A and B are shown apart, each in its own frame.
Chain A
Amino acid sequence: MLFSAILTGLVLGGTYALIAMGLTLQYGVARIMNLAYGDLIIAGSFGAMLLFTAAGLNPLIALFIIVPLGFALSWLVYALMLQPLARRSPNRDRLEGDSILATFGLLFVIQGVALVLFGANYQSYSFLAVPIDVLGTTIAANRLLAFALAVLFGVGLWLLLTRTRFGTVIRAVAANPGSAPLVGINVDHVARLAFALGGGLAAAGGVVVSMYLTFSATMGVIFTMKALIVVIMGGVGNLLGALAAGLILGVVETLVSSFIDPGLTLAATYLIFLAVLVVRPQGLFGKAAR
């Protein structure tokens, strides 16, 4: 029973980690606190649903269409809307404030477009809702897929960031955007790329969660909140941190739900969040304050 609960929790945590990874890139590297992040996830979900119901396209294949679209859209958003903000900001705090306001507006633009196109109704379809037996515990295949993708993206991007020259460049920008140009790094370019990469990840998350979660045009903010908790808990800009924090949240929620009371899952989530903030304000994997 305990083992089964932990396994279920890990799979739930995979979903949390998956939806948080893009945000940690956008916030950690591009320094954009993107409040429209959840709405991009919803946009990905709508895209997958549309392709699945109208064109009969397998959501797994739809990933290869929607992720590049999310990447391109975020690239455009950064180039048109956020780059001017980043250029004129004297410091990080100012950019954070500006980007919160700008993306707050963007949130309503994306939401409004979704409302016009799809209405306010709940949307849901079912894909890969097949039971898979994992060491005696029955788990839905679509949730297992979300977990696998989260681990894949988390570890893959972590390797990219720590083992490649390109990753070093991104980390340089994350660590000190003021000094990075001194060693020949185009900060604008790198930040835009990181933001777009985050958008692609958000779209990927949207496609995967649409297979098993009910969504509606106005639900983006729920995803943004959850992702934000995971990002802060794991350490801003740290992909492994996001993975770990997501998994911890999932396991704790499931344990509390199974052994104490389902009504206390939210309380447990925020208790853990609070504990992390008190003990390690920089997040589980975050670097100490600059």
Chain B
Amino acid sequence: MTTLSRRTLLQAMGTGALATALASLPTFAQDRTAIRIGYAVSKTGANAGGAGISTIPNYLLWVDDVNKAGGLELSKLGVTLKLEVTEYDDRSSAEETVRAIERLATQDNVDFILPSWGTGSNLAAGPTFDRFGFPQLAGTAVTDMAPQLVQRWKNSFWFLGGGHDYANALVDLLVKQRDAGAINNKVAIASVADGFGIDLSKAATPAFQAAGFELVYDKTYPLGTSDFAPIINEVSGLGVDTFVAFSYPPDTFALTQQAVVANFSPKIFYLGVGTAFPIYPNVAGPNHNGVMGVGGIDPDSEAIAAYFERHTALVGQAPDSWASAVTYASLEILGQAITRVGDLDKSAVAAEIASGEFDTILGKVKLVDNQLRALWTVGQWQDGKFVGLAHTEGKAAREPVVPKPAWVPAS
């Protein structure tokens, strides 16, 4: 047993106090060699497919772009520093995400933390980001609760809108087509019984009814369904001109293949997540043309074209045409906010993100109430690009092609 003398105790307390005082001193510029960026992303597990397309490539690309340009200038510290990355795999588990963020904040002492992929993981990580005071740039979360979340977590930023944005935009677009006589009044909806499908169909069903559409089929199917023959067979006999599926990537591809095989070619064929993926034209072949879905890009923007090129060169594949560009833009905003503030003060950077106007690949962007409200909501494959048909600000990059071209049977 050891006894502590008063002197040892006092010495220990003194050292401790000194250490605390030192730790709370601002970091000196000469101590720093890099700006430390940390993130936990889903490299394995159920979210890996989504993260591998929309999130991870954009984090890599942004770091690469910034470092190639020499780094970010911190005027108050008088240096220009490159980015240095600490990365963890959260294995698609929300607990793992939270744990990794705590570790990044306390052990790795990173300067900024980027979020994981998906709505669920961003909602789960919100309190942790808030507790450590890090700005949370949710580039891949779709939630109607964003206005309330912003009240609760002041440093959270929501970039991908909510279910109502997408559902209402789709219904508005269809109303115009119906009033122009291009489609009939019957609509069939199939949605996946999981986060995205539930949110979207909850918003869409009343919107369709309010617009006077007749919902002749409105059913959900379980996550992981692989055979869509029963759904397509039933819907194809109902005489609908509009088929809407709020689906996840594997379902999106399977629904397309099944519809082609069954030769069910409605005038409007709208699918959920995965339609905007670069792999979709490979899956659907010539039949991708005219298919509608969530998201979209401005095909005439030079910034977007250059972004697609850089992305393809670095990652080996094109980005998706929905969340990818938005995620990248959120990182551009972070970088510009850091340079404007001129040092690594988290709350000052968050305040700048909330109030400043930024120059991104999406054009000039200013967040409204911590949310990106300038979003492409409905897209359609036209000439190899997933072009935006509807935008929250009322513009359209292209006119919708209705009816879509008839399916070309596989040979």
Question: Which A272-286 residues have a C-beta within 8 angstroms of B?
Answer: none
Report chain A residues within 8 Å CB of B282: 124-125
Closest to A216 in B: B49
- Asked if residues B49 and A261 are in contact (CB atoms below 8 Å), the reply is no
Chain A nearest Cβ from B318, distance in angstroms: 12
Report chain B residues within 8 Å CB of A11: 229
Q: How many residues of B contact A (CB 8 A)?
A: 47
- Asked if residues B52 and A120 are in contact (CB atoms below 8 Å), the reply is yes
Most buried by B among A131, A138, A139, A262: A262
- Asked if residues B233 and A214 are in contact (CB atoms below 8 Å), the reply is no
- Asked if residues A129 and B257 are in contact (CB atoms below 8 Å), the reply is yes
Mark A residues whose CB is within 8 Å of B: 4-5, 8, 11-12, 15, 111, 115, 119-126, 128-131, 138-140, 143, 212-218, 222, 250, 253-254, 257-258, 261-263, 265-266
- Asked if residues A120 and B233 are in contact (CB atoms below 8 Å), the reply is no
Cα separation A218 to B89 with both chains bound (whole Å): 14
Closest to B282 in A: A125
- Asked if residues A265 and B221 are in contact (CB atoms below 8 Å), the reply is yes
- Asked if residues B253 and A214 are in contact (CB atoms below 8 Å), the reply is yes
Closest to B42 in A: A120
| Interchain residue pairs A-B with the least CB separation, the first 7 | A120-B52, A120-B48, A214-B250, A257-B230, A262-B221, A140-B261, A258-B230
- Asked if residues B230 and A254 are in contact (CB atoms below 8 Å), the reply is yes
- Asked if residues B224 and A222 are in contact (CB atoms below 8 Å), the reply is yes
- Asked if residues B274 and A122 are in contact (CB atoms below 8 Å), the reply is yes
Contact bitstring B202-239, A, C-beta under 8 A = 1, else 0: 00000000000000000111101111011101100000
Closest to A131 in B: B261
Report chain B residues within 8 Å CB of A121: 49, 52-53, 279, 317
- Asked if residues A266 and B222 are in contact (CB atoms below 8 Å), the reply is yes
Closest to B229 in A: A8
Can you pick out 29 interface pairs between chain A and chain B where the beta carbons lie within 8 Å of each other? A5-B230, A5-B233, A12-B229, A15-B226, A111-B44, A115-B44, A120-B42, A122-B53, A122-B249, A122-B253, A122-B277, A124-B279, A124-B283, A126-B257, A126-B283, A126-B410, A131-B262, A138-B261, A139-B229, A218-B45, A218-B46, A218-B49, A222-B224, A254-B230, A262-B230, A262-B231, A263-B219, A263-B220, A266-B224
Chain A nearest Cβ from B285, distance in angstroms: 6
- Asked if residues B262 and A265 are in contact (CB atoms below 8 Å), the reply is no
Cα separation A112 to B282 with both chains bound (whole Å): 25
Report chain A residues within 8 Å CB of B317: 121
Report chain A residues within 8 Å CB of B260: 129
Our pick among A131, A215, A218, A257 for the contact of B231 (Cβ within 8 Å) is A257
Chain A nearest Cβ from B72, distance in angstroms: 28
Cα separation A276 to B53 with both chains bound (whole Å): 41
Contact bitstring B316-331, A, C-beta under 8 A = 1, else 0: 0100000000000000
Report chain A residues within 8 Å CB of B219: 261-263
Report chain B residues within 8 Å CB of A138: 261-263
- Asked if residues B258 and A140 are in contact (CB atoms below 8 Å), the reply is yes
Chain A nearest Cβ from B306, distance in angstroms: 23
Q: Does B190 contact A (CB under 8 A)?
A: yes
Contact bitstring B262-284, A, C-beta under 8 A = 1, else 0: 11000000000010010100111
- A129-B229 in contact given A121-B279, A214-B249, A258-B234 (Cβ < 8 Å): no
Cα separation A250 to B225 with both chains bound (whole Å): 12
- Asked if residues A262 and B253 are in contact (CB atoms below 8 Å), the reply is no
- Asked if residues A125 and B283 are in contact (CB atoms below 8 Å), the reply is yes
